């Protein structure tokens, strides 16, 4: 598939009101697909609020007409909509937080959501030295495919505990 006239627009507004900091963001990406009337498009809207040592963030992303992209990952995908939000507390070099993700994917010529995804993450970390950070996370993930085929639902659940070491030089 060949694309032309790919346009990406993004904006971010940052400011404070009294002791509350905020950041609003929006992006839109679109393109024209050669030899097809269906064009991929994505939008994303984000919000972050800062108060004292607390940070709240949320993001809503929507991707349409993904079946026109190269590869087989989204071959029959019509749209994917994902909502993320998190709360983080930071104190000095340490932090902890709680995050949630919910995503739904629909496919071309199929009524309803084909894939539903939910994830909860609890964790934290600590800066050890300049460019070195240690993290720990507990994550629960559930994926359901209510319309997987023959009227049967397919689902999977996982729980994991992760330790990370991030190096940034």
Close Cβ partners of 111 (under 8 Å, ≥ 6 residues apart)? none
- CB 11 within 8 Å of CB 25: yes
- CB 102 within 8 Å of CB 90: no
Quote the pLDDT of residue 36. Answer: 67
Quote the pLDDT of residue 111. Answer: 63
Quote the pLDDT of residue 32. Answer: 75
Quote the pLDDT of residue 95. Answer: 96
- Residues 5-27: tens digit of each pLDDT: 788 899 999 999 999 999 999 99
* Structural domains of the chain, ranges and CATH numbers in brackets: 3-167 (2.40.160.10)
Token pair 């995050």: residue: 99
Segments of the chain with pLDDT less than 50: none
Q: Say what the pTM is.
A: 0.77
């Amino acid at each position: 598939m060949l694309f032309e006239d790919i346009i990406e627009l993004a904006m971010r507004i940052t400011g404070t009101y009294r002791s509350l900091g905020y950041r609003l963001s929006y992006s839109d990406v679109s393109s024209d697909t050669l030899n097809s009337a269906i064009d991929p498009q994505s939008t994303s809207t984000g919000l972050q609020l800062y108060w004292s040592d607390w940070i709240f963030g949320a993001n809503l992303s929507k991707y349409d007409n993904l079946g026109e992209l190269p590869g087989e990952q989204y071959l029959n995908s019509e749209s994917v909509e994902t909502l993320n939000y998190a709360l983080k507390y930071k104190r000095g070099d340490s932090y902890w937080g709680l995050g949630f993700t919910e995503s739904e994917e629909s496919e071309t010529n199929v009524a309803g959501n084909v894939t539903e995804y939910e994830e909860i993450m609890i964790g934290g970390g600590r800066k050890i030295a300049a460019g070195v950070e240690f993290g720990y996370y507990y994550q629960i993930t559930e994926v359901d495919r209510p319309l997987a085929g023959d009227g049967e639902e397919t689902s999977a659940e996982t729980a994991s505990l992760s330790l990370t070491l991030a190096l940034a030089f």
